Amino acid sequence: MLPPPWAVLAASVAAVLRLAHTYRPVIVVHGLFDSPGDLVTLQTYITQSHPGTNVTIIDLFDRTKSLMSLWSQVEGFKQAIYPIMENAANGVHMICYSQGGLICRGILSTMPAHNVHTLVSLSSPMLGQYGDTDYLKWLFPKYVKSNLYHVCYTQIGQRVSICNYWNDPHHHDLYLNTSNYLALLNNERMNPNASEWKKNFLRLQHLVLIGGPDDGVITPWQSSHFGFYNENETVVEMRRQLVYLKDLFGLKTLDARGAITIFKIPDVHHTDWHSNRTIFDQCIVKWLT
Ligand SMILES: *[C@@H]1O[C@H](CO)[C@@H](O)[C@H](O)[C@H]1NC(C)=O
Ligand SMILES: *[C@@H]1O[C@H](CO)[C@@H](O)[C@H](O)[C@H]1NC(C)=O
Ligand SMILES: *[C@@H]1O[C@H](CO)[C@@H](O)[C@H](O)[C@H]1NC(C)=O
Ligand SMILES: *[C@@H]1O[C@H](CO)[C@@H](O)[C@H](O)[C@H]1NC(C)=O
Ligand SMILES: *[C@@H]1O[C@H](CO)[C@@H](O)[C@H](O)[C@H]1NC(C)=O
């Protein structure tokens, strides 16, 4: 006896859907002083778990070029990313590491037709950085965190990526006046494009924030979860931050949709987030469909 026509139809539809199932392309944006070579382990994890995924680690602003201003990097990365998005009818995912997470926020907010489905942020200083690290000692040997504002909060300082997200809680007014990246992106300083940027940012379907207390570089480490110091260097969590409460750039709206997932993972040092297999298996792979 022949199967009824609806069964034949259902079976062919299922077959077509199986054939058409492909993983969304994944775009990876590296961090300060990195180059794509540092992230190949992550690429290997992705293609092992999800064979056939088109993974692109953008090869731009490598090594010391990663110190260039974040707006110039955003423009450069956009050029490289645009064709990948155009070829991806169902959208793309982005995995952005450390400073790269702030670059990805810049891309999301200023790209009107982006189709980023999920942004996975790996220990990115989302609300800025205020801490003495080896990078800082190397870059600005004469300065420590308490006086770096003299350099960073100037027009010349703002040409250096690190200063673009330097967030000195003891000089908040100066930060608001001179930070021409983070304060603008957060819409903490009047920005004529703010409502446009918010709309663009909210095209994002899901935001995954990964970070933890043993990071050792991002300071405070809670910045990876949109927390930050108040004027007394006490950490205030994301949902009590002004940028969140006033929904200045879309974070609260995104959260209200249930579109933010936060992973707080101990025992991972900053340079290990992208190559730690446990992190990949527990916090990353399930979003890359
Ligand atoms: C991956 O995507 C890029 C951009 O869409 C495309 O140029 C490239 O050919 C793709 N690679 C593979 C192996 O499909
Ligand atoms: C910030 O800018 C405003 C307006 O230009 C100015 O009145 C204020 O003194 C500035 N604050 C700091 C700390 O530079
Ligand atoms: C706002 O958008 C316009 C047009 O896209 C651009 O020329 C201008 O530089 C933007 N303003 C800021 C503060 O980025
Ligand atoms: C910071 O500490 C001072 C002195 O202890 C206190 O008066 C002030 O309220 C604190 N500020 C905040 C934002 O907690
Ligand atoms: C990898 O991550 C796990 C937590 O998920 C941690 O316990 C472990 O120490 C990490 N290993 C390395 C080499 O960072």
- Give the residue carrying structure tokens 């250096």: 160
Cβ neighbours for 3, distance < 8 A, ≥ 6 positions apart: 11
Cα distance between residue 138 and residue 123, in whole Å: 21
Q: How far apart are the first and last CA of the chain?
A: 39
Mean pLDDT of 25-46: 97
**Nearest protein Cα to ligand 2, atom 7:** 177
Q: Which amino acid is at 252?
A: K
Q: What is the DSSP letter of 284?
A: I
Dig out the tokens for 39 from the structure: 């992230």
CA of residue 96 to ligand 3 center, whole Å: 24
Between 257 and 139, the more confident residue is 257
Give the count of beta carbons closer than 10 Å to the beta carbon of residue 64: 10
- Residue-wise pLDDT tens digits, 84-101: 999 999 999 999 999 999
Bridge partners of residue 28, in order along the sequence: 57, 95
Bridge partners of residue 26, in order along the sequence: 55, 93
**Nearest protein Cα to ligand 3, atom 14:** 193
Q: What is the dihedral of CA 55, 251, 187, 96, to 10 degrees?
A: -20
Do residues 23 and 289 lie in contact, with contact meaning Cβ atoms separated by under 8 Å?
yes
Mean pLDDT of 160-170: 97
Cα distance between residue 150 and residue 142, in whole Å: 11
Between 198 and 9, the more confident residue is 198
Check pLDDT > 80 for residue 10: no
Q: Reduced to 3 states, what is the DSSP secondary structure of residue 131?
A: coil
Q: Could you give phi then psi for residue 238, rounded to 5 degrees?
A: -45, -50
Q: Which of 190, 163, 156, 187 is nearest to 252 (CA)?
A: 187
Do residues 69 and 164 lie in contact, with contact meaning Cβ atoms separated by under 8 Å?
yes
Mean pLDDT of 165-188: 98
pLDDT band per the 50, 70, 90 thresholds, residue 245: very high
Amino acid 133: pLDDT: 85
Cβ neighbours for 214, distance < 8 A, ≥ 6 positions apart: 221, 266, 267, 268, 269
CA of residue 176 to ligand 2 center, whole Å: 9
CA of residue 170 to ligand 4 center, whole Å: 12
Cβ neighbours for 20, distance < 8 A, ≥ 6 positions apart: none
Give the CA diameter of the chain.
86
**Nearest protein Cα to ligand 2, atom 12:** 174
Which atom of ligand 2 is nearest to 173's Cα? 13
Dig out the tokens for 16 from the structure: 């077509």
CA 117 to chain centre: 13
- Residue-wise pLDDT tens digits, 106-123: 999 999 999 999 999 999
Cα distance between residue 151 and residue 163, in whole Å: 8
Which atom of ligand 3 is nearest to 184's Cα? 13
CA of residue 174 to ligand 2 center, whole Å: 7
Residues in the chain: 289
Mean pLDDT check: name the lowest of 85-94, 133-142, 162-171, 196-205. Answer: 133-142
Helices 70-86 and 99-110 cross at an angle (nearest 10°) of: 60
List ligand 1's pocket residues with C-beta within 6 A: 25, 54, 83-84, 87
Between 11 and 49, the more confident residue is 49
By percentage, how much of the chain surpasses pLDDT 70? Answer: 93
By percentage, how much of the chain surpasses pLDDT 90? Answer: 88
Check pLDDT > 50 for residue 18: no
Dig out the tokens for 270 from the structure: 């900053």
Do residues 89 and 25 lie in contact, with contact meaning Cβ atoms separated by under 8 Å?
no
Q: Where in the sequence numbering do the catalytic residues fall?
A: 98, 215, 270
pLDDT band per the 50, 70, 90 thresholds, residue 282: very high
List ligand 3's pocket residues with C-beta within 6 A: 191-193
Cβ neighbours for 172, distance < 8 A, ≥ 6 positions apart: 231
Amino acid 135: pLDDT: 81
